[in-house]
A = this chain, B = another copy of it.
Amino acid sequence: MQRPFVHPAVEDVTLESVLYALADPTRLEIVKTLATGGCALNCSKAAPADLPKSTQSHHFQVLREAGLIRSERRGTEVVNSLRCAELDKRFPGVIASILKASDKSKKR
């Protein structure tokens, strides 16, 4: 049996950790993919394909511990999903406005 994932309770999620998690371009990309992808995706599909696995793993850990995503093991894979509803209740509009803005910000 593998060590289970720990997810913070919504009320323990801090704005700071959320912003920190989203401030990294790779992680923002992952979150965008999860948001548009409809629902749950496994790690390899949600992360840029060229990113080393160890780095991917690290980013998913940051996102998970920040409270942005929920991860569940499905056999050998890990399926991730955005905690949209919960987060919007805690920080109304934050994630939504960021996701909306992220489409616009394609330069550089």
Contacts and interface: CB of A to CB of B under 8 A. Distances in A.
| Count of identical protomers in the assembly | 2
Given A12-B107, A105-B16, A97 B100 contact: no
B97 A92 contact: yes
A57 interface: no
Interface in A1-39: 12, 14-16, 19-20, 22-23, 25, 28
Please classify how large the interface on chain A is, using the bins under 10, 10 to 19, 20 to 34, 35 or more.
20 to 34
B23 A98 contact: no
A104 interface: yes
Contacts of A25: 16
A20 B27 CA distance: 12
